[in-house]
A and B are shown apart, each in its own frame.
Chain A
Amino acid sequence: MRPDASAKLAANRPKDGPSKVLIGAVIAAVAIIVIVVVVIVNAEQSKSSAGGSANALSNGGGVVAYPGKASSDAPTVDLFEDFQCPFCKHLETASGAEFDKLAKNGDIKLVVHPMTILDRPGTDDSVRAANAAYCADDQGKFVDFRRVVFANQPQEGVGYTDAQLKQFGAAAGITGDAKKTFDQCVDAQTYKNYVNNVQTQAEKAGVFSTPTVKINGKAVSNQTMNSFMQDPSALDKAVKAATK
């Protein structure tokens, strides 16, 4: 009798498993759809040409501190900072008064760019703090407001509540009806789009960390930045050196 070959035949028959092409096509299609959706959603979100506060430059250009003071030939000093960034506080503590003095005297045109680098997913403390700074700018208190924020800066990552931001407004000298307008502006996040615009423009200008200081469009070296954090007179020297 011949041995039964059916078992052997069954083992050698081509397997009718799932089609490799089909599975591959499904995986590729799902991946491509996800990618397209993510890119489109993101493009929609970043579309905004929102205007800023009273002394804000158009197209996310930041806020001019002490508007109208700078002499016509004064160099532009751009200060990029994040209200949550500890080193920005160091800079403000060490040289903030010097920045203010030079700007007030008209020796420099000081433009401040509040950035939102330190916001992590689900947090928007830098966005809300920057928004509040623009709200303060509408009341003529931008410079005072940012000084108060840095003076009260918590440990990195703790962030700011809206109630705190409103208190900072009061501490910056915003009172009466102006304070009401300021509080509404903080609650409504009136300048949220402008905040994002400033962040985008700063990145386009190659600023990926805070604090960054640019004199006439050129970022100062790390060494110079360190000197600002130790010696207030370093700013004037750097400005003179850059504009010689």
Chain B
Amino acid sequence: MSGTSETETMAGASRKPLVLDLIGLAARLILGGVVLVAGLLKVTDPTAAERAVRAYQILPYDLAGTVGLVLPIVEIVAGVLLILGLFTRIAAVIGGLLMIAFIIGIASAWARGLTIECGCFGGGGTIPAAETNYLPEILRDIGLVICAGWLTVRPRTTFSLDRRLF
């Protein structure tokens, strides 16, 4: 098994790679968990997901609808891959690009004075100005970008299918 050979090599080396692998595991589970939940909550209500994207008023009407439909599926795939640790780097890149797109979208809505809910976990659409939550939403997504960045640079993590299979 690959597990045995790895522990043998690691026994001689410093403990540092193990710590880094564990940080990677945490990054994987946080990013993957959030993205998977976000996708699952949206995929059950495609109409709301379409509307949430349209409420940003960035993309043309029909394209925004398609994005609303496709996005949850991409999120679920990337989320599952991250949690399993399969194709970690590719999944992390996808997750990171999504988060960057979300940050741009939210910042743009904020800057244009729209009062919308991000629709990150279902829902979305226009809400009263007092209920907007732009800064925490952006900070959360920045945190997730950091997770994605870590995994892109160093996709090796503990308990990953990547390690077990390939």
Contact of B166 among A20, A35, A42, A121 (CB under 8 A): A20
Across the A-B interface, how many residue pairs have beta carbons closer than 8 Å?
A: 59
Q: Are the C-beta atoms of B5 and A208 separated by less than 8 Å?
A: no
Q: How far is the CB of A18 from chain B (nearest CB, A)?
A: 6
Interface size class of B (residues with CB under 8 A): 20 to 34
Q: Which residues of B contact A203 (CB under 8 A)?
A: 51, 54, 61
B46 in contact (CB, < 8 A): yes
Q: Which residue of B lies closest to A121 (CB)?
A: B45
In the complex, per-residue mask of A103-120: 1 if CB is within 8 Å of any chain B CB, else 0: 000000000000001011
Contact A27 B77 (CB under 8 A): yes
Cα A18 to Cα B161 in complex, Å, equals 11
Residues of A within 8 A of B128 (CB): 222
Q: Are the CB atoms of B69 and A38 closer together than 8 Å?
A: yes
- Is A18's CB under 8 angstroms from B165's CB? yes
Interface-centre pick from B87, B116, B126 (highest chain A CB count, 10 A): B126
Whole-angstrom CA separation of A34 from B2 in the bound complex: 34
Cβ of B83 within 8 Å of any chain A Cβ, yes or no, is: no
Chain A residues, CB < 8 A from B126: 208-209
Q: Which residues of A contact B74 (CB under 8 A)?
A: 31, 35
The closest CB in chain A to the CB of B162 belongs to A20
CA distance in complex: A17, B90 (Å): 20
- Measured in the bound complex, the distance between the Cα atoms of B90 and A203 in whole Å is 35
Which listed residue (B54, B127, B129, B165) contacts A17, Cβ 8 A?
Answer: B165
A206 interface residue per 8 A CB criterion? yes
